[in-house]
Amino acid sequence: MATATTGLDRREQAPEEPELVTLSLEEMGPLGDTMAPFEGGRINVAGGIPGEEVVAQIVRYRRRKQRHVSGIVADVLKPSPYRVATPCPYFGPCSGCQWQHIDYSHQLEMKRDAIRGELEGYEAVLGTAVSDTVPAPDQFGYRNHARFTVRHSGKLGFVNRITRRFVDVDSCMLMAPGINEVLGKLDGHSQETSQLSIRYGINTSELLVQPALHNDDIPLPTGQTHYREALLGRTFRIASPSFFQVNTAQAERLAELVRQRLELQGDETLVDAYAGVGTFAVLLAPYVGRVIAVEESEAAVKDAAVNTLGLDNLEFRQGRTEEVLGDLGSRPDAVILDPPRAGCDPAALEAVARWEPRRTVYVSCDPASLARDLDVLVRAGLRVIEIQPLDMFPQTYHVECVATLEPG
């Protein structure tokens, strides 16, 4: 604030000097930041690597009526051997990429180690085999979905998760070229909304932009209700509220990996729980006798009705997964669990354990909820054969996991 001694009014006040401290960085935290001792406690530090000594800017803020302290690396005094130059000019201020400064091969190791770390908290799954992370074919330019914040000027960008400062971006290196092309046409012309979603079909070139915009300077249609994407030669309709994997190339690898782990013989009854728009159900229907797909979202089920046309051995049941699984009527041979980040409802896990399918494959984007749920399934009588990490999200701490189980 301005004071009498400075002679500055509120509009001319000098910027505050940043609070800089030297920190020794320790293990990775849950959001892809390193942890470090500070003021008698521990804080998360963005942009670091375990083992480094850095100068960090301290950010003090209030969120949800609570005081928080975080750090952001400002200078590296003792670099890790895994530190690399970052190609993106927005790395750091943007915060969308947490690990762009880390060698990619080491990113893969850290994702595997993060899964192992979560398993250590549960005795029933302690020591479960975790395979090497399957790398992504593209380390940049892989995302088919972007969400942008829009400023009053119509400029598009992202908000830093620590500082909450807006960063205007001309393009994002994680996004598919088609999304960046659309970003360039919308930037500066989108004042009528505060949030903007762009979805792009990597294999179809189809586009979805929400919400609908009415500025005559925008040279492309907006407000589409759905778009289409193709995986392994099969086309899927995806509505605006429906979930779909953001990495198209790795989604194809994921589907193939799930099929291999299920060891299908051709005559099984397969249950695809949390089926979404029907991705696994549709792609695996040719390899089984019957598929029962379960999904609660009305929008996703409407998409699935289109996506499953021509597949006579596929049945979609709309409802809560735990309720449908508990009332299947007969024992399934194989089950796919692909829940949201929060994991499975306990009743759904109980139903799977009671049915004891020959193979269960649990697909997860959150190692913490995966470890918790695997612990429940193992204590209920199943056995984890293997956990296979798959990198769907290069340059970030996020990781996809495929856990394979069988009766114990």
State the total domains in the chain.
3
Could you tell me if 47 and 36 are in contact, meaning their C-beta atoms sit under 8 angstroms apart? no
Three-class DSSP category at 59: strand
Could you tell me if 218 and 189 are in contact, meaning their C-beta atoms sit under 8 angstroms apart? yes
**Residue 134 shares a structural domain with residue 153:** no
- Domain holding 234: CATH number? 2.40.50.1070
Closest CA to 198 of 235, 164, 246, 231: 246
Give 356-370 pLDDT, tens digit per residue: 999 999 999 999 999
In a domain, 201, yes or no: yes
Question: How many beta carbons lie within 10 A of that of residue 330, not counting itself?
Answer: 8
Could you tell me if 25 and 34 are in contact, meaning their C-beta atoms sit under 8 angstroms apart? yes
List the domain range (segments joined by +) for residue 76.
10-83
Q: Above 50 in pLDDT, residue 397?
A: yes
**Residue 59 shares a structural domain with residue 149:** no
How far, in Å, CA of 341 to CA of 322, rounded? 16
**Residue 326 shares a structural domain with residue 202:** no
Q: What is the H or E stretch that residue 353 is in?
A: helix 346-355
In a domain, 2, yes or no: no
How far, in Å, CA of 101 to CA of 111, rounded? 15
In a domain, 355, yes or no: yes
Closest CA to 336 of 285, 379, 408: 285
- Domain holding 115: CATH number? 3.40.50.150
Could you tell me if 265 and 295 are in contact, meaning their C-beta atoms sit under 8 angstroms apart? no
How far, in Å, CA of 69 to CA of 52, rounded? 20
Final residue belonging to a domain, choices 206, 239, 272: 239
The two tokens of residue 345 are 């409802």
How is the beta sheet containing 53-63 ordered, strand by strand?
A: 20-24, 53-63, 66-78, 41-46, 34-38
Q: Angle at the Cα of 85 (from 145 to 17), degrees rounded to 5?
A: 90
How far, in Å, CA of 331 to CA of 346, rounded? 19
Final residue belonging to a domain, choices 239, 272, 299: 239
**Residue 67 shares a structural domain with residue 133:** no
In a domain, 3, yes or no: no
Give 207-257 pLDDT, tens digit per residue: 999 999 999 999 999 999 999 999 999 999 999 999 999 999 999 999 999
Query: Where in the sequence numbering do the catalytic residues fall?
Result: 365
**Residue 61 shares a structural domain with residue 187:** no
How far, in Å, CA of 88 to CA of 101, rounded? 10
Q: How would residue 19 be classed by pLDDT, with cut points 50, 70 and 90?
A: very high
Average pLDDT, integer, range 286-308: 95
Could you tell me if 199 and 208 are in contact, meaning their C-beta atoms sit under 8 angstroms apart? yes
Can you spell out the DSSP letters for 212-227? ----TT--S----SEE
Q: How would residue 9 be classed by pLDDT, with cut points 50, 70 and 90?
A: very low
Q: How would residue 385 be classed by pLDDT, with cut points 50, 70 and 90?
A: very high
Q: Above 80 in pLDDT, residue 144?
A: yes
| pLDDT value of residue 15 | 55
Phi/psi of residue 324, nearest 5 degrees: -70, -45
**Residue 189 shares a structural domain with residue 328:** no
**Residue 44 shares a structural domain with residue 185:** no
**Residue 398 shares a structural domain with residue 286:** yes
In a domain, 88, yes or no: no
The two tokens of residue 264 are 């299908």
Final residue belonging to a domain, choices 207, 239, 271: 239
In a domain, 78, yes or no: yes
The two tokens of residue 90 are 């927005």
Q: Angle at the Cα of 301 (from 318 to 264), degrees rounded to 5?
A: 80
**Residue 267 shares a structural domain with residue 353:** yes
In a domain, 100, yes or no: no
**Residue 390 shares a structural domain with residue 296:** yes
The two tokens of residue 246 are 């953001």
Closest CA to 104 of 127, 137, 74, 131: 137
- Domain holding 26: CATH number? 2.40.50.140
Q: Above 90 in pLDDT, residue 269?
A: yes
Residue 158 CA neighbour count, 13 Å, CB half: 18
**Residue 130 shares a structural domain with residue 249:** yes
**Residue 175 shares a structural domain with residue 126:** no
Question: How many beta carbons lie within 10 A of that of residue 120, not counting itself?
Answer: 11
Give 27-51 pLDDT, tens digit per residue: 999 899 999 999 999 999 999 999 9
In a domain, 90, yes or no: no
Q: What is the DSSP letter of 393?
A: S
Looking at 267-310, list the stretches that DSSP marks H as alpha helix, in order from N- to C-terminal side: 279-284, 298-307
Beta bridge pairs of residue 6:
none
